[in-house]
Amino acid sequence: MLSNISKDWLGVGFVTAIGLAVLIFVPMLFDLFEVLQMTKYVVLSLFALSLAYIWGFGGILSFGQAGFFGLGGYTFAVSAINMGQTTIPFLMAIAMCALFAAALGYFMFYGRLNDVYLGVVTLVVTLILWKLINHTAGPEFIIGKARLGGFNGVPSIPIMTLPWQPDMEMEPSQMFQYFMAILIIVYLLLHFLIKSKFGRVAISIRENEIRTSLLGYDVRLYKLWIFTIGGAIGGAAGAMWATYQTFIDPNAFSLEVSAKCLIWVMAGGVGTLFGPIVGVIALEYLSLKLGETSFLNNLIILGTILMFLVLLLPKGLFPTFRDLVIKLWQRARGGTSGERPS
């Protein structure tokens, strides 16, 4: 009989194996359009992971995760255009978002903002960034060779190159594999983090912040780290989005992007890492297919489906499916213990 810990790692191993299989076989089996479509899902999955971690494992509900997505995208765009390479700009985007998250988090957590105000502040900061970047259309808003372009956005962003080889632009299939590898690594790193002492304290903060403090932990510092890690991941996703599209505009900061991120995590399953990835793929694929039809506005259909999801599957798609499989497995074996991979 496997212990719960072994079962947990078995679950992670299973998810990683699926990820590796996707990384290897998708470019072989699918055409260019489908590979590009799946690259988009991978980038958005990484973005969803940024919120899945801070919300699901730290109890920090950020309504402004798009702020890091946009900031990462713009930092990458400006530095890649100026430097003519993508490796350092990618790292700069991550560092910039981590720093921004740390600065914002410092004021929020050390200022003892509660959950509601934290949600409002993250949302407002993102909207300020959106407004700010929208007003940079004039020729004076230029950083080196990169014009910010205001609502027109920044075009001609360099395509991701192989790390430290600025002359070797990635083919779409290579970019898919590179991004997929990043997604798998981030998933595994987050899983290790969740299982570490740091992660256990973070979960304890999610469960009861006051009690965690009464156990002698500096809740503010832990939350600051969690938020910073989430910001860095969101920034990485933003940079990947910018190079994937070779274009970025202020919509990256928009309320719609923040809301979508919340919906992916909610639909996929808060408190899991794999669930939000499922949420991205399911809902984005649905949007794509609904976009091909013309008999009803796809937003109405999507909204209705989301409403039913929240009402009928409050735990989310992945936890519901996982629990169902475990129940069927137990029934088949006549056992009682369960497996809960994250």
Question: Which residues contact other proteins (rule: CB under 8 A)?
Answer: 204, 207-208, 210-211, 213-219
Minimum Å distance from CB 141 to other proteins? 43
Minimum Å distance from CB 12 to other proteins? 22
CA-based Rg of the chain, rounded to a whole angstrom? Answer: 20
Contacting residues for 342 by C-beta, under 8 A, at least 6 apart: 8, 11, 12, 191, 194, 271, 272, 273, 274
| Distance between CA atoms of residues 35 and 156, nearest Å | 21
Nearer to other proteins, 209 or 249 (CB): 209
Nearer to other proteins, 84 or 338 (CB): 338
Minimum Å distance from CB 106 to other proteins? 15
Size (the chain), residues: 342
Nearer to other proteins, 165 or 208 (CB): 208
Nearer to other proteins, 12 or 219 (CB): 219
Minimum Å distance from CB 218 to other proteins? 5
What pairing do the DSSP bridges indicate for beta strands 142-143 and 165-169?
Answer: unpaired
Minimum Å distance from CB 219 to other proteins? 7
18-57 b/e (C-beta count within 10 Å ≥ 16 → b): ebeebbeebbeeeeeeebeebbbbbbbbbbbbbbbbbbbb
Minimum Å distance from CB 338 to other proteins? 15
Nearer to other proteins, 54 or 219 (CB): 219
Nearer to other proteins, 27 or 59 (CB): 59
Minimum Å distance from CB 340 to other proteins? 13
Nearer to other proteins, 203 or 326 (CB): 203
Q: Can you say whether residue 138 is alpha, beta or left, with left for phi > 0 and alpha for psi between -120 and 50 degrees?
A: beta
Instruction: Count Cβ atoms within 10 A of the Cβ of residue 243 and give its class: 0-12 exposed, 13-18 middle, 19 or more buried.
Output: buried
Minimum Å distance from CB 213 to other proteins? 5
Q: Which two tokens stand for residue 212?
A: 């965690």
Nearer to other proteins, 124 or 221 (CB): 221
